[in-house]
Amino acid sequence: MKIALINENSQASKNEIVYTALKKVVEPMGHQVFNYGMYRTEDKNSLTYVQNGILAAILLNSSAVDYVITGCGTGAGAMLACNSFPGVICGYVVDPSDAYMFAQINDGNAISMPFAKGFGWGAELNLQYVFERLFEGESGQGYPRDRAIPEQRNKKILDEVKKVTYKDIVTILKGIDQELLKGAISGERFKEYFFENCKNEEIASYIREILA
């Protein structure tokens, strides 16, 4: 699995902490981590939580990654931004039980965490435990297990509803503010990571046009 980490400007200083915890947990599982930044508070290219959602949607809809870890001060803004787009099911995760139940019940492809609220002693341990519970075993198996069938049915219903209620991603990218979009894809490692892994040429072509 290819996993992206995305941090916005208010919590950019936490990037290395989150990245280290994520790599420590998932690389032994055989997963790859792609750190899309922000890497530090003083980065030239600044991301807002809205741009976190744009970037997450581009990465997931193009299959450049399979999963996105993101967040903001409270985690709520980045979650709302991610869920504004098709092809993204983002959960709000504070602790390991949130992570496990989101993975098993909702079977999403992104989480948003609060990187300011409650981020004190033991924060790196909580991150590790969250990532362990999020990525252990196969997701979508239900919790509790006797609820698996209705939960899996509801997930399929949600997937079908989202197909109806959202435009396709390229139409959305063309319709939003182009400077906002350009800012979301102007990180120092975006081109290297994205174009190497993107599997959707229509999305890649439009992204090239924006970056030209």
Q: Mean of the pLDDT values across residues 69-74? A: 98
**Residue type (1 letter), 206:** Y
Tokens of 65: 């990654």
Determine what percent of the chain falls in helix, strand and coil, rounding each to the nearest 5: 55, 10, 35
| Cα–Cα dist 161/9, whole Å | 33
How many percent of the chain have pLDDT more than 70?
100
- Give the tens place of pLDDT for each residue, 7-66: 999 999 999 999 999 999 999 999 999 999 999 999 999 999 999 999 999 999 999 999
Model pLDDT, residue 107: 97
User: Is residue 91 a contact partner of residue 106, using CB atoms and an 8 Å limit?
Assistant: yes
| pLDDT score for 114 | 98
Output the six-digit token pair for 97: 């039980």
Cross-strand partners of 110: 68, 90
CATH domain 2-211 topology: Ribose 5-phosphate Isomerase B; Chain: A, (3.40.1400)
Tell me the domain boundaries of the chain. Answer: 2-211
Give the pLDDT band (50/70/90) at residue 136.
Answer: very high
Alpha carbon distance 185, 207 (integer Å): 8
Cβ atoms 56, 6 nearer than 8 A: yes
Q: Can you give the pLDDT at residue 76?
A: 98
